[in-house]
């Protein structure tokens, strides 16, 4: 079974470490998401998703001439440590060591182990100029054994001189070839606007996607839809379809939050659903598109409230929907049906239909229009009749 404890980080983790002279020697401002799979029984496991919290300790951090360690402690026995080394002109990150305590039931409920485990990742952060800080908005995903760490919006500086953070940065390679779109706080769901250029691509193929806790279980999250992405590239709008047959499915099912991650060679989309025990909705979208030129478009919106339905039911919209994720990136869905919670026997429950599909709302509109026309006809007939009567009186 997979359990999601947290799905997004609203604040970065910012820390400063001083040397023995009480001057700044290490600085970090970053976001880190963790995914850890652990045993809860014989041949049974759970996966938890959590984040590096805003409040951490720096005990164990060290600053030396050619080596430094940034160690962040949090929770009950968990830590995240970055090892730096320096030569004459540059410095680099040699490793990241994540240590987690399986005896912490608040993070790892029902764990059969009380061990404290560590994994070591090599994040390829190299050739950072001395007296500059490392900057990387793009995601840096590190998978080691049963742990996945995702770093993003990273600012790091080791071997700080003169006791103050540098104003000059060394930008990661991923950011040099990417276009990062800042998250927005609004989203609209409408029929395709007339201002959007008519897509030249065929209607996307409908894909069937599902997440199961393990190979022997039925689905805990189900979705079916066709997906197109439109994004601005200069003065042009480019469009691309997600091809289901070339797409890998990932994600996690949780009590109050579930994720569906679709990954192809050119597209990665993460849908984050949440529920309040009565209703669920799509809360966040993270989209990455790799262009043929090698450039990368990244867009995110973590403040959404669409595709809402009662927990234990599904949400359905057969008509084309337009989801404005940011000012420069839009998702188009076709023949959509999703159920991120309360799936039973691997089947969709009764669907809540979107307003675009619900033809029942047209009935009062049609009846109202017909009554309006009838009233107009009566008024016109009355006016014409009055005129004829008036003319008749004048003739007499």
Interval 94-102 mean pLDDT: 96
The second-level CATH assignment, the architecture, of 207-357 is Beta Barrel (2.40)
Give the confidence band of 188 by pLDDT, cuts at 50, 70, 90.
very low
Question: Does residue 192 register a pLDDT over 50?
Answer: no
CA–CA gap between residue 325 and residue 228 (Å, rounded): 13
Cα 345 to Cα 47, 342, 348, distances in angstroms: 22, 10, 9
Question: Does residue 253 register a pLDDT over 90?
Answer: no
Question: Does residue 234 register a pLDDT over 90?
Answer: no
- What is the reported pLDDT for 85? 96
Classify residue 54 by its DSSP letter.
S
Question: Does residue 5 register a pLDDT over 70?
Answer: no
Q: How many helices (H) and strands (E) does the chain have?
A: 2, 29
Question: Does residue 193 register a pLDDT over 70?
Answer: no
Question: Does residue 353 register a pLDDT over 80?
Answer: yes
Is this model's pTM higher than 0.95 or not? no
Question: Does residue 389 register a pLDDT over 70?
Answer: no
For the chain, the average pLDDT equals 84
Q: Of residues 271 and 188, which shows the higher confidence score?
A: 271
Range list of β-strands (E), 110-192: 116-121, 125-129, 133-136, 140-144, 147-158, 169-171, 178-180, 189-190
- What is the reported pLDDT for 196? 47
Interval 91-95 mean pLDDT: 96
**pLDDT per residue over 145-186, tens digit each?**
888 888 888 999 999 988 999 999 999 988 876 544 444 434
- What is the reported pLDDT for 40? 85
Interval 66-86 mean pLDDT: 96
Give the confidence band of 364 by pLDDT, cuts at 50, 70, 90.
low
**Would you list the domain boundaries of the chain?**
13-171, 207-357
- What is the reported pLDDT for 16? 95
CA–CA gap between residue 24 and residue 111 (Å, rounded): 40
Question: Does residue 362 register a pLDDT over 60?
Answer: no
**pLDDT per residue over 12-52, tens digit each?**
799 999 999 999 999 999 988 888 888 888 877 777 778 88
Interval 291-303 mean pLDDT: 82
- What is the reported pLDDT for 361? 46
Looking at the chain, the whole-number percentage of residues with pLDDT higher than 70 is 83
Q: Do domains 13-171 and 207-357 have the same CATH topology?
A: yes
Residue of 258, 253, 198 lying closest to 228 (CA atoms): 198
> Class of the 13-171 domain?
mainly beta
- What is the reported pLDDT for 277? 83
Cα 371 to Cα 121, 233, 349, 378, 390, distances in angstroms: 71, 49, 39, 11, 29
Residue 367 CB: number of other CB atoms within 10 A?
Answer: 10
Interval 352-360 mean pLDDT: 74
- What is the reported pLDDT for 256? 84
**pLDDT per residue over 194-210, tens digit each?**
444 444 689 999 999 99
């Amino acid at each position: 079974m997979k359990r999601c404890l947290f799905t997004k980080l609203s604040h970065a983790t910012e820390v400063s470490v001083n040397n023995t002279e009480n001057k700044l020697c290490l600085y970090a401002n970053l976001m880190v998401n963790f995914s850890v799979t652990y045993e809860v029984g014989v041949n049974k496991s759970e996966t938890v998703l959590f984040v590096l919290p805003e409040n951490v300790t720096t005990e164990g951090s060290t600053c030396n001439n050619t080596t430094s360690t940034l160690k962040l402690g949090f929770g009950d026995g968990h830590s995240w440590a970055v090892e730096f080394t320096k030569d004459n002109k540059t410095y680099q990150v040699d490793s990241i060591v994540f240590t987690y305590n399986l005896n912490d039931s608040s993070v790892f409920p029902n764990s059969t182990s009380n061990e404290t485990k560590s994994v070591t990742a090599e994040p390829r952060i190299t050739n950072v100029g001395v007296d500059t800080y490392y900057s990387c908005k793009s995601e840096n995903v590190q998978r080691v054994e049963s742990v996945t760490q995702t770093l993003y919006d990273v600012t790091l500086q080791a071997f700080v001189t003169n006791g103050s953070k540098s104003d000059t940065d060394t930008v990661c390679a991923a950011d040099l070839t990417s276009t990062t779109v800042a998250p927005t706080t609004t989203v609209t769901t409408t029929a395709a606007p007339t201002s959007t250029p008519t897509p030249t691509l065929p209607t996307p193929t409908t894909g069937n996607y599902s997440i199961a806790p393990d190979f022997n279980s039925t689905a805990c999250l189900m979705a079916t839809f066709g997906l197109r992405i439109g994004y601005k590239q200069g003065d042009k709008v480019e469009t691309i379809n997600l091809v289901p047959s070339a797409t890998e499915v990932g994600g996690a099912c949780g009590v109050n939050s579930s994720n569906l991650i679709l990954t192809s060679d050119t597209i990665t989309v993460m849908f984050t659903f949440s529920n309040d025990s009565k209703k669920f909705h799509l809360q966040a979208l993270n989209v990455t598109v790799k262009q043929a030129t090698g450039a990368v478009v990244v867009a995110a919106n973590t403040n959404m409230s669409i595709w809402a339905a009662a927990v234990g039911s599904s949400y359905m919209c057969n008509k084309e929907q337009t989801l404005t994720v940011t000012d420069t990136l839009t998702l188009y869905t076709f023949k959509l049906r999703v159920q991120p919670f309360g799936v039973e026997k691997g089947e969709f429950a009764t669907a809540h239909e979107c307003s675009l599909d619900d033809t029942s709302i047209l009935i009062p509109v049609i009846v109202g229009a017909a009554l309006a026309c009838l009233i107009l006809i009566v008024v016109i007939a009355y006016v014409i009749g009055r005129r004829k009567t008036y003319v008749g009186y004048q003739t007499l």
